[in-house]
């Protein structure tokens, strides 16, 4: 029988509990089912579908709106007892099994979304087995590296400040410590590379390829998740390299709007709220902001996990009657996070934090740690330990 151990290197999870991942997916499905059904798209492509925001989007659309889905992700399966692969691998499997039980199509592509080949394989599948057209394309990719499909050159993103270095508080979940971190200012090349990896270029390439292949339905919508944050994290997020990448997505949204005009399509940037994900845990200083923010929002009853947030986005805003847009036309489900009172209380709390109180009841450290653990299948609600062998895990098909 395999033993699943939670292992961390800093704020990066190394271990995985495949059965815990499955339970976490089932919990999210139940959350959606308890909210009932809603009218939404029926044929959806999700790029970056295996964890956090992309997975939650897929679950909401499949189990809330009855959508058939194609999910593209980059994950690894089990090799041996010490290397069981990645959580997203098991999330893909759990999602497909549950969706198929309901009679829904749930096709997984585990491949490099940045390559021309993957785009072509997805297009061929849409044409041959998915009814020929999609009516929603969700772009929810987060990556530190991208190989340019034309030049073959590999680019790495750098999470850095711009202009001046930033010094501030950070936490390490492996050692449960609170310390001061210095974030260097990015060079021009690092800024450009981060835009190349996390900006909107690949989103636009996907939409061009899908349009060219005539697999987009009339009135197609494509969404992409951004983060703007507030004064509390501007120096290292919105005003840093990641902010530049997100601004590039805004620019590419305008290009895609023009591209889709003749089929009445639309590109929609969605400014999503701060949540605990693989990506957000490794952004310097961000976890400190989160443990304070979540405490304030939990007390206000507005704290959300990815599934809660994506439910509000698609059920109530995109396909519901409660959308809120800013003057740039972006959808703003981050309205609860950026609320002035919430931010003032969060700021007050952040300023009180130190190495002795950061993990006390004063903050939502325990909640952040639990949500982080859930991402790899640990500390999952309703989880019941079961015996499973490596061969049984290897036999699971995505």
Instruction: State yes or no: residue 363 binds ligand NAI (CB under 6 A).
Output: no
CB atoms under 10 Å from CB of 83, counted, come to: 12
Query: Strands 216-226 and 134-139: what pairing?
Result: parallel
Q: Which is nearer to ligand NAI, 47 or 134 (CB)?
A: 47
Q: For ligand NAI, which residue of 275, 296, 318, 331 counts as binding (CB under 6 A)?
A: 275
User: Does residue number 113 form part of the binding site for ligand NAI (CB under 6 A)?
Assistant: yes
What is the bridge-based pairing of β-strands 43-47 and 134-139?
parallel
Give helix 365-374 / helix 286-300 axis angle, nearest 10°.
Answer: 110
| Site of tokens 């073959």 | 152
| Neighbouring C-beta atoms of residue 205, cutoff 10 Å | 17
Which one of 4, 31, 53, 369 is in contact with ligand NAI (CB under 6 A)? 53
Q: Which stretch binds ligand NAI (CB under 6 A): 189-197, 225-233, 324-332, 389-397?
A: 225-233
Query: Binding string to ligand NAI for residues 174 to 213, with x set by CB under 6 A, is what?
Result: ----------------------------------------
Contact, 277 vs 306, CB < 8 A? yes
Q: Could you tell me the smallest distance in angstroms from the CB atom of residue 111 to ligand NAI?
A: 7
Q: Which residues contact 183 (CB under 8 A, 6 or more apart)?
A: 159, 160, 161, 165, 166, 167, 168, 236, 240, 284, 285
Pair 24, 372: CB distance under 8 Å: no
Contact call for residue 21 and ligand NAI (CB under 6 A): no
- Under the binding rule (CB under 6 A), the answer on residue 112 touching ligand NAI is yes
Nearer to ligand NAI, 4 or 398 (CB): 398
Q: Residue 74: what are its φ and ψ, rounded to 5°?
A: -125, 95
Does residue 335 touch ligand NAI according to CB under 6 A?
Answer: no
Nearest one of 139, 143, 146, 145 to 47, comparing CA atoms = 139
Residue from 106, 141, 197, 269 binding ligand NAI (CB under 6 A)? 141
Q: Counting contacts by CB under 6 A, is residue 72 touching ligand NAI?
A: yes
Residues acting as catalytic residues: 237
Please give the sequence-ordered ranges of beta strands (E in DSSP) within 140-256, or none if there are none.
145-147, 154-156, 166-172, 177-183, 216-226
* 121 near ligand NAI (CB under 6 A): no
Shortest Cβ 335–ligand NAI spacing (Å): 13
- Is position 88 an interface residue for ligand NAI (rule: CB under 6 A)? yes
Distance, C-alpha 163 to centroid of its chain: 28
Phi-psi region of 340 (alpha: psi -120 to 50; beta: other; left: phi over 0): alpha
Query: Contact between 16 and ligand NAI (CB under 6 A)?
Result: no
Q: Which is nearer to ligand NAI, 60 or 73 (CB)?
A: 73
Backbone dihedral angles phi then psi of residue 120, each to the nearest 5 degrees: -65, -40
To the nearest whole angstrom, how small is the minimum distance from the Cβ of residue 100 to ligand NAI? 20
Choices 28-36, 221-229, 255-263, 350-358; region in contact with ligand NAI by CB under 6 A: 221-229
207 within 8 A of 259, measured Cβ to Cβ: yes
Single residue of 20, 41, 54, 77 touching ligand NAI by CB under 6 A: 54
| 225 near ligand NAI, rule: CB under 6 A | yes
Q: In the complex with ligand NAI, which residue's Cβ is closer, 52 or 376?
A: 52
Residue of the chain from 13, 16, 49, 183 that contacts ligand NAI (CB under 6 A): 49
> Could you count the other beta carbons within 10 Å of the beta carbon of residue 341?
9
Contact between 114 and ligand NAI by CB under 6 A: the answer reads yes
Q: Is 143 in the site for ligand NAI (CB under 6 A)?
A: yes
Question: Using CB under 6 A as the criterion, which residues of the chain lie in contact with ligand NAI when the complex forms?
Answer: 48-54, 72-75, 88, 112-114, 140-143, 225-227, 272, 274-275, 277-280
């Amino acid at each position: 029988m395999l033993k699943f151990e939670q292992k961390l290197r800093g704020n990066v999870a190394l271990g995985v509990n495949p059965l815990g991942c499955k339970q976490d997916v089932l919990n999210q499905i139940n959350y959606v089912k308890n909210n009932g059904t809603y009218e939404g798209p029926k044929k959806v492509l999700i790029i970056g579908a295996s964890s956090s925001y992309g997975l939650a989007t897929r679950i909401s659309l499949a189990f809330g709106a009855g959508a058939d889905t194609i999910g593209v992700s980059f994950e690894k399966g089990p090799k041996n007892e010490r290397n069981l692969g990645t959580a997203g691998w098991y999330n893909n499997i759990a999602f497909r099994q549950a969706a198929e039980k309901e009679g829904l199509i749930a096709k997984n592509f585990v491949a490099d979304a940045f390559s021309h080949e993957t785009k072509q394989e997805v297009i061929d599948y849409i044409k041959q087995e998915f009814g020929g057209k999609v009516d929603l394309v969700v772009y929810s990719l987060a990556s530190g590296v991208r190989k340019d499909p034309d030049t073959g050159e590999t680019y790495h993103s750098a999470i850095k400040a711009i202009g001046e270095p930033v010094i501030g508080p950070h936490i390490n979940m492996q050692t449960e410590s609170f310390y001061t971190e210095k974030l260097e200012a990015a060079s021009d090349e690092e800024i450009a590379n981060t835009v190349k990896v996390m900006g909107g270029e690949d989103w636009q390439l996907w939409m061009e390829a899908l349009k060219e292949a005539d697999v987009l339905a009339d009135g197609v919508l494509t969404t992409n998740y951004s983060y703007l944050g507030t004064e509390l994290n501007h120096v290292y997020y919105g005003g840093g390299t990641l902010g530049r990448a997100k601004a590039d997505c805004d620019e590419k949204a305008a290009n895609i709007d023009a591209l889709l005009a003749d089929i009445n399509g639309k590109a929609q940037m969605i400014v999503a709220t701060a949540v605990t994900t693989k990506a957000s845990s490794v952004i310097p200083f961000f976890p400190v902001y989160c443990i304070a923010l979540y405490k304030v929002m939990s007390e206000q009853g507005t704290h959300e996990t990815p599934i809660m947030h994506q439910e509000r986005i698609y059920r109530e805003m995109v396909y519901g009657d409660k959308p809120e847009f800013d003057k740039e036309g972006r959808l703003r489900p981050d309205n609860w996070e950026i609320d002035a009172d919430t931010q003032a209380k969060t700021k007050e709390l952040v300023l009180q934090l130190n190495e002795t109180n950061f993990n006390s009841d004063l903050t939502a450290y325990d909640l952040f740690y639990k949500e982080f653990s859930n991402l790899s299948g640990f500390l999952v609600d309703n989880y019941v330990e079961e015996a499973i062998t490596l061969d049984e895990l290897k036999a699971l098909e995505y």
